[in-house]
Amino acid sequence: MASVTLTAIEGIPMVKAGDDPAVLIAQGLKQTGLELRDGDIVLVCQKIVSKAEGRMVHLGDVEPSAFARNYAARWGKDPRLVEIVLRQTSRIVRNDNGVMIVETGPGWVCANAGVDESNTLDDDRALLLPLDADASAARIRSGLQRLTRAQVAVLVTDTFGRPWRDGLTEVCIGVAGINPMLDLRGTTDLGGRELHHTVVAVADELAAAGGLLMEKAAGIPAVHVRGYKFEPYEGSAKVLIRPPEADLFR
């Protein structure tokens, strides 16, 4: 019977700028009693990647623009945080009722450019998304393979909302070694009909499954996945971004 197992990687300490996530994850795997095998997948929460890469901003160092001050005053927000969001934004997609949906430099469309204050353990800091989450995933993958001798894949995940539905879920923003999309076009369904449009975002499905173990206050920043037979891939998670001409919500 087909099965996929997900296991929380425990024992990973609070990450600081300059830490090597691969080393910390390898130590956590050992403490959890797991040994990486060829074909395993490691899901890594964006927060520890951003912390390790120093993607932290001190609010006291931010001088808000006039736009940020006016926006913050209207909606009861901290103008410094609004300014940080604007600096990470290439385009404001929607802006109403104090909610700012923007497009970031790498192309992700999300609320507040992914800027986050949770789990920074400092009321005066905000965490930014990695500059290049694909490169981050590749570094972690290379480190894990060097430390464990196992050929694995790595996904960097983050929490996003969705235009279609309410509630948040984990999605993939960085990949290394795994095709984030499963293209079923040209195959047939149970009735023999050819599929013409079905492309499955397997990286997002794996990320969402891992999110069940990465609860906000659980201190679990990484999850081990075994049993999913993925397609090897050298490319970017940006293939998950729907082209503007096909995105009716832009």
Question: Do 153 and 239 touch, CB atoms closer than 8 A?
Answer: no
Question: By residue range, what is the domain housing residue 185?
Answer: 5-55+130-245
Tokens read off for 65 = 């623009």
The pLDDT value given to residue 43: 98
pLDDT along the chain (250 residues), means of 10: 92 94 97 95 97 95 96 95 95 91 92 83 85 98 97 97 91 97 88 90 97 88 96 94 85
Question: What's the rounded Cα separation, in Å, for the pair 128 and 117?
Answer: 9
Question: Do 223 and 9 touch, CB atoms closer than 8 A?
Answer: yes
Torsion (CA) 153, 159, 161, 162 in degrees, nearest 10: 10
Global pTM reads: 0.93
209 and 172 co-located in one domain: yes
- Helices 66-75, 79-87: inter-axial angle, 10-degree rounding: 130
205 and 221 co-located in one domain: yes
148 and 218 co-located in one domain: yes
Q: Is 140 helix (H, G, I), strand (E, B) or coil?
A: helix
Assess if residue 119 is contained within a domain: no
Looking from the CA of 228 toward its CB, the CA atoms found within 13 Å total: 26
What amino acid is encoded at 1 in this protein? M
Question: What's the rounded Cα separation, in Å, for the pair 197 and 210?
Answer: 27
* Strand runs labelled E in the chain: 5-8, 41-45, 56-58, 89-96, 99-104, 109-111, 125-127, 153-160, 169-176, 182-183, 199-200, 222-226
Those residues with Cβ within 8 angstroms of residue 184's Cβ, 6 or more apart along the chain or in another chain: 195, 198, 199, 200
The pLDDT value given to residue 153: 98
User: Domain holding 180: CATH number?
Assistant: 3.30.1330.100
137 and 51 co-located in one domain: yes
Those residues with Cβ within 8 angstroms of residue 144's Cβ, 6 or more apart along the chain or in another chain: 22, 25, 26, 36, 42, 150, 152, 154
The pLDDT value given to residue 244: 85
Assess if residue 78 is contained within a domain: yes
141 and 201 co-located in one domain: yes
Question: Do 50 and 66 touch, CB atoms closer than 8 A?
Answer: no
- Spell 41-58 as b/e; 16+ CB within 10 A means b: bbbbbbbbbbbbbebebe
User: Domain holding 93: CATH number?
Assistant: 3.90.1660.10
Assess if residue 239 is contained within a domain: yes
84 and 182 co-located in one domain: no
203 and 241 co-located in one domain: yes
Assess if residue 85 is contained within a domain: yes
144 and 239 co-located in one domain: yes
Assess if residue 125 is contained within a domain: no
154 and 39 co-located in one domain: yes
Question: What's the rounded Cα separation, in Å, for the pair 114 and 132?
Answer: 13
The pLDDT value given to residue 121: 60
Alpha-carbon distances, residue 148 vs 22, 29, 136, 143, 151 (angstroms): 10, 10, 18, 9, 9
Assess if residue 24 is contained within a domain: yes
84 and 104 co-located in one domain: yes
DSSP 121: S
Assess if residue 116 is contained within a domain: no
Those residues with Cβ within 8 angstroms of residue 194's Cβ, 6 or more apart along the chain or in another chain: 186, 187, 188
- Select from 111, 141, 175 the last residue of a domain: 111
Assess if residue 198 is contained within a domain: yes
Question: Do 211 and 156 touch, CB atoms closer than 8 A?
Answer: no
The pLDDT value given to residue 194: 87
